[in-house]
Amino acid sequence: MSRLSRRTFLAGSTALLAAPALRPGEAASDVDVAIVGAGAAGIAAARRMIAGKARVALFEAGERIGGRCITDSALFGVPFDLGAHWMHFPDDNPLIKLAPATGLDIYPAPRGLAMRVGPREARAGELETFLSLLVRSRRTIDEAARGTTDMAAARALPPDLGGWQHTVAFALGPYLCGKPLDKVSAMDLAKGGARDIAALCRQGYGALLARLGAGLPVHLSDPVTKLDRDRRGIDVHTARGRLRARTAIVTMSTNALAAGKLEFKPGLSRRHLQAATDLSLGSYDHIALMMPDNPLGLQRDDLVLEQASGPRTAALLANISGTGLHSVAVAGEFGRDLAAQGEAAMIEFAREWLGTVFGAGVKDKIAKSHATRWNAEPFVLGGMSAATPGNADARRILRASIGRRIWFAGEATHETRWGTVAGAWEEGERVALAALDQLGLLEKPKPERPARRSRPSRRRRRR
């Protein structure tokens, strides 16, 4: 494989800065850090490294940046978030804090949800019963997580959920983390906390992330295939060539990591590989339906669930940001099996499901449709990470560096904000600071000098 020149990689890049001094025994390199993956974690890491005067090369296997947070406005003529949409933790979400500089509109998401019982709207008492059972189920999972032994979250559910059992299980399992509760760690689920409060971006969450990543030295459609590490640095092998880096940051998904999409030499430790497996991605997809003139009679950004009789269920987000776009979320094992049948089967399920909960006539109101299939994306292979029972410590294991040369970052390494763009962003900044420190580029805060005591005047001394 040919070796690409530093000029080829970094021409026109904002990262082409003066090289910092080398440490003893360290060889010259093309860049200070090679970042694998231009999702939220990779973008955050690149921005922070460049701010620290590091030379950066950012590699993305896909055709555009964003990872699992991408907005497409061409499919329907309005913004459609193919992946992440909810902006969780709005009070301290780092991307919301950066949003004013991008000129995009952020607004609070509606609180609460609507419920359907068969083809009718749930009565007030029925909705109140569901919400109280949902809160009690969260509480029992939290209580189970305080024990010494981790268990499956399904074992912690109250036994008296009655006709709401499947809906509660869907809301806390597939809809929240892409997996059924019997395959999710109670401790890991409890650490994630409640995520009822959120914000939305009118132009799309992916559009905001793309604005924040604009101008970065990213190499699109250029997957990194191998990281060959020695005592002096890392040879980074890509689809187009090879370059030398002093450090590397890996932000690829746990499923891609476990599938061997990136080769490590020396090989990845068993602990890291097992942690990636224990944090496998659940399945979560959107079936988008353009339905003009609001045939469902719902408000902007209304979230709708149904009283389910089994795992074959979904969630509806209606009139997204005031448009005619609706999104049916399918997740968990049912969503995975459905997506494996192809886009046509997914769209047909969405049509039939809407007809069941809103009446058969609404199926004729669908003007256009599209379904995502994240499990089939070769460098993603799923939705979001969720720890398997008994492996709540997997995130801490995965976030450990390899010889302070290679770091892992992404939503899967955040112990409390896993499964969110905010968590991925924070992890990208965390490893960037660690890499800057290793490279000797992290500015240390200057110690404050003690205030000098004023000398007494001669008159006071005489007294």
Domain boundary, last residue among 376, 401, 425: 376
pLDDT at res. 162? 96
Q: Answer yes or no: is 369 within a domain.
A: yes
Q: Answer yes or no: is 462 within a domain.
A: no
Question: Would you say 1 and 237 are in contact if contact means Cβ atoms under 8 Å apart?
Answer: yes
Q: Answer yes or no: is 91 within a domain.
A: no
* CA-to-CA dists, residue 47 to 67, 254, 429, angstroms: 16, 23, 8
pLDDT at res. 7? 43
Same domain membership, residue 337 and residue 287:
yes
Same domain membership, residue 427 and residue 350:
no
* CA-to-CA dists, residue 317 to 138, 327, 365, 420, angstroms: 23, 5, 16, 18
- Per the document, the length of the chain is 463
Q: Answer yes or no: is 324 within a domain.
A: yes
Same domain membership, residue 311 and residue 366:
yes
Same domain membership, residue 310 and residue 417:
no
pLDDT at 451 over 70: no
pLDDT at res. 288? 98
Same domain membership, residue 232 and residue 187:
no
pLDDT digits (tens, 9 = 90+) for 223-250: 999 999 999 999 999 999 999 999 999 9
Q: Which of 18-22, 328-332, 448-452 has the highest mean pLDDT?
A: 328-332
Residue 450 confidence class, pLDDT cut points 50, 70, 90: low
Identify residue 71 by its one-letter amino acid code. Answer: T
Q: Answer yes or no: is 266 within a domain.
A: yes
Same domain membership, residue 365 and residue 290:
yes
Q: Answer yes or no: is 118 within a domain.
A: yes
Domain boundary, last residue among 325, 348, 376: 376
* CA-to-CA dists, residue 57 to 41, 220, 321, 425, angstroms: 14, 11, 36, 18
Q: What is the CATH number of the domain that holds 228?
A: 3.50.50.60
pLDDT at res. 22? 39
pLDDT at res. 443? 78
CA proximity to 429, closest of 32, 195, 94: 94
pLDDT digits (tens, 9 = 90+) for 400-442: 999 999 999 999 999 999 999 999 999 999 999 999 999 999 8
Question: Would you say 316 and 306 are in contact if contact means Cβ atoms under 8 Å apart?
Answer: no
pLDDT digits (tens, 9 = 90+) for 259-313: 999 999 999 999 999 999 999 999 999 999 999 999 999 999 999 999 999 999 9
Same domain membership, residue 291 and residue 183:
yes
Same domain membership, residue 288 and residue 272:
no
- Domain count within the chain: 2
Same domain membership, residue 344 and residue 394:
no
Residue range of the domain that includes 435: 6-65+216-280+388-439
- Average confidence (pLDDT) over 358-374: 97
Name the DSSP class of 27: P
- How far is residue 64's CA from residue 71's CA, in Å, rounded to a whole number? 10
Of the chain, the percentage scoring pLDDT greater than 70 comes to 90
CA atoms within 13 A on the CB side of 280: 16
pLDDT digits (tens, 9 = 90+) for 64-119: 999 999 999 999 999 999 999 999 999 999 999 999 999 999 999 999 999 999 99
Alpha helix positions (H), 31-84: 40-51
Q: Which residues pair with 249 in a beta bridge?
A: 35, 407
Q: Answer yes or no: is 162 within a domain.
A: yes
pLDDT digits (tens, 9 = 90+) for 144-195: 999 999 999 999 999 999 999 999 999 999 999 999 999 999 999 999 998 9
Over the chain, what is the mean pLDDT?
A: 92
pLDDT at 455 over 50: yes
- H/E element, 302: strand 302-306
Dig out the tokens for 144 from the structure.
């189970």
What are the phi and psi torsion angles at 351 (to 5°)? -60, -50
- How far is residue 278's CA from residue 184's CA, in Å, rounded to a whole number? 10
Same domain membership, residue 228 and residue 183:
no
Name the DSSP class of 156: G
Q: Answer yes or no: is 35 within a domain.
A: yes
- How far is residue 49's CA from residue 247's CA, in Å, rounded to a whole number? 11
Same domain membership, residue 297 and residue 273:
no
Identify residue 37 by its one-letter amino acid code. Answer: G
Q: What is the CATH number of the domain that holds 124?
A: 3.90.660.10
Domain boundary, last residue among 353, 376, 399: 376
Burial class of residue 387, CB neighbours in 10 A (0-12, 13-18, 19+): buried
Same domain membership, residue 292 and residue 167:
yes
